[in-house]
Structure 1
Amino acid sequence: MSSLERLTVLGAGVLGGQIAWHSAFKGKTVAVYDIAQDAIDRCRAAHEQYAAIYRSEVGASDADMTATRQRLTYGTDLATAVAEADLVIEAVPEIPHVKTAVYEEMAGLLPKDTLVATNSSTLLPRDFASATGRPDKFCALHFANMIWAMNYTEVMPHPRTSRETLTAVTEFAVEIGMVPIPLRKEQNGYVANSWVVPLLNAAQTLVTNGVATHEDVDRTYLLTGAKVGPFGMIDMIGMETCHNVLTYWGSVRGDAQMNANADYIKTHFLDRGFLGLQTGRGYYEYPDPAFERPGFLAVPDISVVPDLVTLMTTQTEALA
């Protein structure tokens, strides 16, 4: 059994909010920190949505939800948020200099025995170990979106992570109901995002370049038996995170298509305030996304064939 009972989550975004809520549901005392009060307010609202989800999908009772809320606190003061933490999980934007700045600010505020983990989805823990001021007490602990259903977490050390830290953090993961996925080597993208990011980037390329609509891309995926397609995934991950990942790796790799995909998300969604599932609108509108409606995967009436042919020939004729 770990000694990690008091958790602080840095970053009240989509996944940070889920980690906080789920950990509190599993009995941990949780402080949620964000630099912005509006992010805290959105997180509180999301937690009320999670209460309904946990009742319907997890079988939680009203008493469970009341106890979960009582274990949660929220705030915008970093010193207060980490003052009693046994474990801090960083879930701030996927931008290296932002993460580094948070670690450097926090380093002098932590109790001496506090462990720190990054929930980064694509960046290596070695990149931030020194900034934490306690590299031996630092590793990666990456959770999946929809944590209540996708209950795994990827544990990745860097060369200076101690065995004791890995033991305690992995025990913590098990205590909150996660399947630990141990990484044997450092890998950008960990396990899941090593295949998820290429998948979502390829799907976004089809839309950015006008090859297909997001609905039709998702149909090709959902017809394999999956419950959510690439664009449903993008909505769940959140437009801001997807934009940050594509922007960073597009720059690092000199990938013009990846940069174009990031620009598409910025122009069509972020600039319009559409952040995905958390704001009720991304590629789909929530809580009733089109891909969950009856008929989304149905064979169409033959009368629509002329319209489909028009879609296929318009650009071809223009290029002739």
Structure 2
Amino acid sequence: MKNIAVIGSGTMGNGIAHTFAQFGYAVTLIDINNEALDRALATINKNLDRQVVKGTLTDAQKQATIHNITRSTDVKTGVSEADLIVEAATENLELKLKIFKDLAAFAKPDAILASNTSSISITQIASVTNRGDKVIGMHFMNPVPVMKLVEVIRGYATSDETTAQVMELSAKLEKVPVEVNDYPGFVANRILMPMINEAIETLFEGVAGVEEIDTVMKLGMAHPMGPLQLADFIGLDVCLAILKVLHDGFGNPKYAPCPLLVNMVMAGKKGVKSGEGFYDYSNGIKEAKVAAKFCS
């Protein structure tokens, strides 16, 4: 594989493009408009500069990485020469199904179609394509250039050959690929999201405040980041979407999203991306802030 296309230039998409380009792959980054692509390239530049300052990358390597990225607002043209296409759009089933229908029509017959979905069924995504054997999940962790794990998800029809290729490719990116089967939330979010949801329930019920809950988990469980801060970092809307997939997929009430999480997302408090979630980021610093009216 030499040519990679990444669909979606948000937090995950630009991180995936950055990582592939850094390791010498020709990357086409695709989004619906040039404004989104401008923001993505600015983010990639900033993150590369951070690597240069830390000494993990030379300036020449930074320039080579940027040179390896081409931008496009046309999916048909952008994916036409790709050996691997990684979809990194919003965690929305209808949107992903539409994208994969288009990819089945526009991509080369031997191209692998991967989704960076964090919870949605790879088997369901593959069902709208004409190549279920070549559809697979590549769930990168955020921030992609830093985090080592890639959760590689096999759909019902994913072939051994496709799985082996993606496992090998992930290793070439200096990631640690872990193969898992296709069930709601896979492994990472099936375990993580109930923990985050329980932390929100603990806040909702007034057991402790935001900083207190996060401090207990950081100091008591050696977590690098508390669950409420982590939820802000992931995006509260993303957490809610994943919990809904788990709840619908298993039919188990233990996955039901906390009412506080639902209310905050409806109110537009989505975490870091919106400037406010369980913490307020609007002044450039992190301050605990949850409206008391949302809590029991």
TM-score range, shorter-chain basis? 0.7 to 0.9
Match of 2:121 among 124, 149, 156: 124
In 2, Cα distance between the equivalents of 1:212 and 1:49?
37
Amino acid at match of 1:260: P
For residues 176-227 of structure 1, give each alpha carbon's deviation from its aligned partner in whole angstroms, at most 9, with x where no partner exists. 11101112x3332222112111111112223344443322211111113322
Partner of 1:265: 264
Decide whether the 8 Å contact of 1:30 with 1:71 is kept in 2. yes
Identity of aligned residues (%): 28
Aligned-partner Cα distance in 2 for 1:77–1:128: 21
Aligned ranges for residues 163-242 of structure 1 at < 5 Å? 163-183=160-180, 185-224=181-220, 225-242=222-239
Q: Indicate which of 105, 108, 112 corresponds to 1:111.
A: 108
> Alignment partner of 2:60: what SS?
helix
> Structure 1 length as normaliser, TM-score?
0.80
Deviates more, 1:48-57 or 1:159-168: 48-57
Matched residue of 2:29: which SS? strand
Please state whether the residue corresponding to 1:258 is helix, strand or coil.
coil
- Aligned with 2:85: secondary structure? strand
Q: TM-score, normalised by structure 2?
A: 0.85
* CA RMSD, 1 decimal: 2.7
CA change 1:251–1:115 in 2 (3 A) is closer
Structure showing greater Rg: 1
Give distance in 1, aligned partners of 2:206 and 2:33.
Answer: 36
Gaps of 5+ in 2: none
Residue 214 to residue 264, structure 1, CA distance change in 2 (3 Å): farther
1:21 and 1:259, CA in 2 relative to 1: closer, same or farther beyond 3 A?
Answer: same
Matching of residue 22 in structure 1 with residue 27 in structure 2:
no
Matches within 5 A, 1:35-184: 35-57=32-54, 59-183=56-180
Which secondary structure does the structure 1 equivalent of 2:13 belong to?
A: helix
Alignment: residue pair count: 286
Unaligned 5+ segments in structure 1 are: 292-310
Contact 2:243 2:256 survives alignment (8 Å): no
Which stretch has the larger CA shift, 41-50 or 114-123? 41-50
